[in-house]
Chains A and B, each alone.
Chain A
Amino acid sequence: MSDVPPGIETLDYRFAGERPAGEFAPVLVGVVGSGNLEVLLEPSPGGDCAVHVETSARGFGRIWEAVVRDFHRRHPLAGVRLSIHDMGATPAVVSLRLDQAAQELQP
């Protein structure tokens, strides 16, 4: 963890999507508070699901990758981008917010 430079850590992931999300109004869930995060889900051209993370809890890239990958398995959305501002949420809370965002797309 000491290799990670001070400040906000940014992480990016991209998955091939399966389920086209179509057009929709941006979805915001969560709040950037201690132990919490906000997730902005927006439509994006192309068939991928892109995830961009900005976090103050540095050095947990491996866990983020696993969490985001599992999220995509549950909700293989295509044509979306997720942008995250995180302040040290545990994986349980991250997964919860991601699922909450995806569920907003299902009527």
Chain B
Amino acid sequence: MTGALSYAECSARERLARVVDTGSFHEWLPPAERLTSPHLAQLGVPSAFDDGVAVGRALLDGRPVFVAAQEGAFMGGGVGEVHGAKLVGLLRRALRERPDAVLLLAESGGVRLHEANAGLIAVSEVMRALLDVREAGIPVVVLIGGANGCFGGMGIVARCADRVVMSDIGRLAMSGPEVIEASHGVEEFDARDRALVWRTTGGKHRWLTGDCDVLIEDDVAEFRAAAIEGLDASRRVTLEALEAENTLLADRLRRMAEPSEGDDAVALWGRLGVAHAERVSELDVASVRALRDAKGVEA
């Protein structure tokens, strides 16, 4: 048995309790208040007392933070009306009370489709609220390391944040693997080829392409450490930053203009300057981290 506690194995509440300072979490709208989904019962789906997300305030390394943790096992972590409202409320309260950071322990498939437009609206409100918090100079740090990953509208939310922290088990994308296979065919993307799925959406890939800021092991202690580092990671959205992002994406497109032999992810990594790109999947996290820090890879 390893000494490290697996972040992926923990429930949302277990992760939350262990990332923040011990015993410092105070929950708002706790389960006992029964703020459950107004939509699920009529579909014959059981509700959750917290609608799949715990929100509140806590201390992180002695500093005040607001924190939300999504439970991936409930409805795939999908954002419904109440779930989204709790996130929005947390972010808006952050504007008022100005904690040192907002932590989002994200594990979600995106919009909870059962709640249809209510879910869609909720996610878009989360995006707007998050950007307001970021604009106010309060860093929003997203931690991604659950088995379900961070997809759909929540994937977009994550990329709106100041900092994205991922383990190599974590995944970040918009469309989920089954959706890609259904739309483009199994020849193009076999969703059961898990190695392929992780090459295209997993933490190592996101790190090498610059889509996440920190790559760590599946270890609660490392997530806590990365969250603490994120306390001072405020990064304003400026015109310069947007233009730089645009340039990076245009460059990425240019590098991939020529068709690739074999696997696309491996090809992209190679064209980004990663040596022996085909070995990336087998490398440990520390080695993959070093590949981007090394010269030749543009973050």
Residues of A participating in the B interface, judged by any CB pair closer than 8 Å: 6-8, 26, 28, 31-33, 36, 38, 40, 42, 54-56, 83, 85-87
**B44 touching A56, Cβ below 8 Å:** yes
Specify which of B42, B43, B45, B48 is in contact with A38 (CB 8 Å cutoff). Answer: B48
Q: Which residue of B lies closest to A37 (CB)?
A: B46
Q: Which residue of A lies closest to B50 (CB)?
A: A28
What's the Cα separation between A28 and B30 when bound, in Å? 10
Specify which of A6, A28, A55 is in contact with B31 (CB 8 Å cutoff). Answer: A28
What's the Cα separation between A31 and B44 when bound, in Å? 17
Instruction: Tell yes or no: B73 within 8 A of A by CB.
Output: yes
**B49 touching A28, Cβ below 8 Å:** yes
> If A40-B49, A54-B46 touch, does A31 touch B71 (CB 8 Å cutoff)?
yes
**B32 touching A40, Cβ below 8 Å:** yes
Which A residues are in CB contact (< 8 Å) with B45? 8, 56, 87
**A7 touching B46, Cβ below 8 Å:** no
Residues of B participating in the A interface, judged by any CB pair closer than 8 Å: 11, 13, 30-32, 41-49, 71, 73-74
B72 to chain A, nearest CB (A): 9
Q: A6-B44, A56-B46, A87-B45 are in contact. List 4 more A-B contacts (CB 8 A).
A: A7-B41, A26-B31, A28-B31, A56-B45
What's the Cα separation between A36 and B45 when bound, in Å? 13
The 6 listed contacts between A and B (C-beta, < 8 Å) are: A7-B41, A28-B49, A31-B48, A33-B73, A85-B49, A87-B45
Which B residues are in CB contact (< 8 Å) with A33? 73-74
A101 to chain B, nearest CB (A): 12
**B47 touching A54, Cβ below 8 Å:** yes
What's the Cα separation between A61 and B11 when bound, in Å? 29
**B44 touching A86, Cβ below 8 Å:** no
Which A residues are in CB contact (< 8 Å) with B47? 32, 54, 85
**A85 touching B41, Cβ below 8 Å:** no
